[in-house]
Copies of this chain bind each other. A is one copy, B any other.
Amino acid sequence: MPVTQPLITINPLEPIPLVEQIVSGIQQQIAQRVLRTGARLPSIRDFAAQHGVSRFTVVDAYDRLVALGYLLSRRGSGFYVAPVTPLQTAVTDTSYLERADDVLWLLHNTFRDVPEAIRPGCGWLPKDWLDQKVIQKSLNELSRKSGGFLTSYGDVSGYLPLRQLLAQKILGEIGIHAEASQLLITNGASHGLDLIARLMIKAGDVVLVDDPGYYTLFGLLKSMGAQIVGVPRGLHGPDIAQLEQLLHIHKPKLFFTNTVLHNPTGTSTSLAVAHQLLQLAEKYGFYLVEDDIYGDFHPQTAVRLAALDQLNRVIYVSSYSKTISASLRVGFIACQAELARRLLDLKLLTGLTSSEINQRVMYQILVEGRYRKHMEKVRNRLAVKRGQVIQALEQCRLTLYTEPAGGMFVWASLGHGRQAAEIASRATRQNVMLAPGNLFRPYQEPSSWLRFNVAHCEGDKVFELLSTA
């Protein structure tokens, strides 16, 4: 099937010869894993037509890429991406990084900036939904303060006033009582999840995750050699009956779960399920890592596991990357004091401190009430948009998993037996990036579900595509 979308961007006005532009464009696609090992390239004729260049130019470029080892030419069949070139000198990679290969491919694609693409599958809010002025204002205020914080390493646990504000006020408001000494500032929630996994998991360990769930986490755990086992996600949180069966079989040490406005289903764990989860944690002796990065999108005070057990068996992780700015890289862990100390030790050895400049920006945004105002607006805007998208999806005959109480995600099915991955693959060729359900499953098992980010569903193109699917 011919690729209708140009593979790379070629600019005939640039002083660089066209052949070189094609060579480096394709090299980059391979490096970024957009083109993966074994992928077939457009035929010479198609490539020429799609990019408005002559066939001779394409032949030249493909030949050069074969000579450089990037492509393989198979007689009569076309050109394919060659297997990854081994390092010039042998490095024995002792991590389990290759086990996360699928997730890595996804991550590279997720972060790739494709101009004019529509991205209903995106995991974060569009640029114009976040408030750049809020960051600018805080940066400006900070630039007018002098002080050692501008140049020094700062507090190893994180900027104390920020930790105090989080402990005394922000966590208090959702029912979690913690001291500043139980908090550790991290470079986003991912860094927090990594520290926890690194401290507590060794290769071969079984770790429980939500199924469906957060794919970067799956990749992280796989790269550490852990065996991940999915706990089916129900309408009110993890399926307790199935969880208990899994606990019988495996003796997991950790269960990573997204309590509020779960990614991708949009469900929130109910009080009753939370209580049962904690009882099982006690009975089977495991820890719950509660990922709460979407909690502030919830219009009411939703239940957190940590509010029930007060950080005894719950390790609470959050961040401001989804709500305010991913560029600040400010997140945190709250847990038992002794565990916080060990995590701090690990953080120190593996990266010393986090940027106090960024922590102060975040502190200003929180303390001046800018965060609260911004989130109110975002929640209201999401509510309106969510209603519209749900209606449109239903018109396209998709079945909703549930109507989420808040947040940006809606989880909808094409119907039993359908493959969401297939429609996603077709959509990509029309520059619409969908997120099919298989991506959110521990081993990319097939799925009829799709995750829609309502804030990214502008225009009719997405729904036209779905209704003809």
User: Is the pair B220, A85 in contact by a Cβ cutoff of 8 Å?
Assistant: no
A351 at the B interface (CB under 8 A): yes
User: Is the pair A108, B146 in contact by a Cβ cutoff of 8 Å?
Assistant: no
Partner of A150, one of B93, B150, B325: B325
User: Is the pair B326, A31 in contact by a Cβ cutoff of 8 Å?
Assistant: no
Partner of A220, one of B97, B145, B149, B349: B349
- Other A-B pairs, 10, CB within 8 Å; known A93-B200, A127-B151, A151-B324: A31-B181, A88-B338, A91-B200, A131-B151, A132-B147, A136-B146, A139-B143, A149-B327, A190-B351, A329-B353
Chain B residues with Cβ below 8 Å from A327 are 149-154, 355-357
9 A-B residue pairings within 8 Å (CB atoms): A31-B337, A91-B287, A94-B201, A140-B140, A143-B143, A152-B327, A153-B327, A355-B355, A358-B358
CB contacts under 8 Å to B, within A292-342, are: 312-313, 321, 324-329, 336-339, 341-342
Q: Which of A36-44, A191-199, A450-458 contacts B (4 or more CB under 8 A)?
A: A191-199
Please name the residue on chain B nearest to A361 by beta carbon. B357
User: Is the pair A325, B151 in contact by a Cβ cutoff of 8 Å?
Assistant: yes
User: Is the pair B104, A348 in contact by a Cβ cutoff of 8 Å?
Assistant: yes
A148 at the B interface (CB under 8 A): yes
User: Is the pair A194, B353 in contact by a Cβ cutoff of 8 Å?
Assistant: no
Partner of A94, one of B90, B191, B202, B220: B202
Work out how many copies of this chain go into the complex. Answer: 2
User: Is the pair B220, A350 in contact by a Cβ cutoff of 8 Å?
Assistant: yes
- A424 CB, nearest partner CB in chain B, Å: 21
**Known interface pairs A95-B199, A223-B346, A348-B107; A153-B326 also in contact (CB < 8 Å):** yes
Interface residue count for A (Cβ, 8 Å)? Answer: 95
Partner of A100, one of B107, B336, B345, B354: B345
CB contacts under 8 Å to B, within A109-141, are: 111, 124, 127, 130-133, 135-137, 139-140
Q: A220–B127 Cα gap in the complex (Å)?
A: 38
Q: A95–B93 Cα gap in the complex (Å)?
A: 19
CB contacts under 8 Å to B, within A359-407, are: 361
Chain B residues with Cβ below 8 Å from A324 are 151
A142 at the B interface (CB under 8 A): yes
A230 at the B interface (CB under 8 A): no
Q: A103–B329 Cα gap in the complex (Å)?
A: 27
A51 at the B interface (CB under 8 A): no
- A126 CB, nearest partner CB in chain B, Å: 10
User: Is the pair A88, B312 in contact by a Cβ cutoff of 8 Å?
Assistant: yes
CB contacts under 8 Å to B, within A143-182, are: 143-156, 181
User: Is the pair A135, B151 in contact by a Cβ cutoff of 8 Å?
Assistant: yes
A87 at the B interface (CB under 8 A): yes
User: Is the pair A346, B143 in contact by a Cβ cutoff of 8 Å?
Assistant: no
Q: A89–B253 Cα gap in the complex (Å)?
A: 12
Q: A91–B196 Cα gap in the complex (Å)?
A: 11
Chain B residues with Cβ below 8 Å from A352 are 188, 190, 216, 326
- A163 CB, nearest partner CB in chain B, Å: 13
Chain B residues with Cβ below 8 Å from A155 are 111
**Known interface pairs A139-B142, A142-B139; A95-B198 also in contact (CB < 8 Å):** yes
Partner of A285, one of B89, B94, B145: B89
